[in-house]
Structure 1
Amino acid sequence: MTAEGGGIDQESIIVVHIDGFATGEGNAEIAGLPRLLRGSGFSPVSPYLEALAKDAGANASALPHYAKRCQSRADLVTTCSNCLAALTGLTIWATVQATPAWWAKVLVAFAALLSAVLGFLPAIYKWGDKAKAARDLASRYGHLYGDLLKLEEKILQGENVNAGSVEQKRIELESLKKQRQEIDG
């Protein structure tokens, strides 16, 4: 019984586990509920808390890959743009002066235009900004994941966990999901 006399706490429940009783080689074990639950494969952690932790963990591991893809895309397009601009800058005067063919002049002009367009793409799609935001968000997801794992561990050790703290972590996860959608959008 609890000190308040109101109910039964987990440590006051006694369980007797008899193994092999029918064969005569039985062992009896007396355990409190948390110890029995840890050994039985049954988890006292709610599926809700497990789902929150799984979601936070998945995002914490996926966002760095997303950030890397965004940054790599921005770097590749910028590099192509700069190389094309350098090539165009080196060949434009020689082509215009030495070659009377109209198609050569159009080709060099097209390369210059393509270089300019490629230079704007990373800024238009904000790949660098998305990569930075994804890295920051991955860190926040990682901290949340760690907090949720600590809550699970407390429950497995038989400690009481305030439902308000789980709800606070759910709200924090929802906030991070909204920020993730803003990055993807």
Structure 2
Amino acid sequence: MKAGFTDFGFESAVQAQQVFGGHGYIREWGMEQYVRDARIAQIYEGTNGVQAMDLVGRKLSLAGGAVAEGFFDLVSSDLEGHGAPVADRTREALQLLREATAALRGADTDELGAAAVDYLRLFALVSMGWMWTRMAAVAKDDTPLHAAKRAVADFFARRMLPQAQGLAASLSAGAQPMMRLPADAF
């Protein structure tokens, strides 16, 4: 989750900087500092690429894959009975994550390396969708805070979780497109 949060945070800071156009790079506005601060967070405690490699290379195989499957089962169980868009789309993304996980079991180093970053992002999206489902489920009051929780959960469902389909497509492409270029390509 550290990697997911810092990746999303950096993307948000860059998008905020774009609002300023060329002025986003000028120190007086302060956005360039936010972008730098958000970028370094992706490096603290091990770079996100290293975290992604650790996820696919070591974490998925813990206890013969039982740790990951236990997590998936917990998420699936928690999503049962929730009909909000965030729950529905998280269920769809979870299925894609399960399929990607099955495809990575026993994969060679090239396949794991090619999949690592996209797999981590898919894992993060599912985890965040799960949490937004839980928050939306208890945000029943007509208070501004609860209305905001429901609105952000809906935003996450409609604008963030659809990334899962693209990530699944990238993952299914395997390592070949990026790691096995023809010898005469250069």
TM-score, normalised relative to structure 2: 0.36
The structure that is helix-richer by fraction is 2
TM-score, normalised relative to structure 1: 0.36
The structure that is strand-richer by fraction is 1
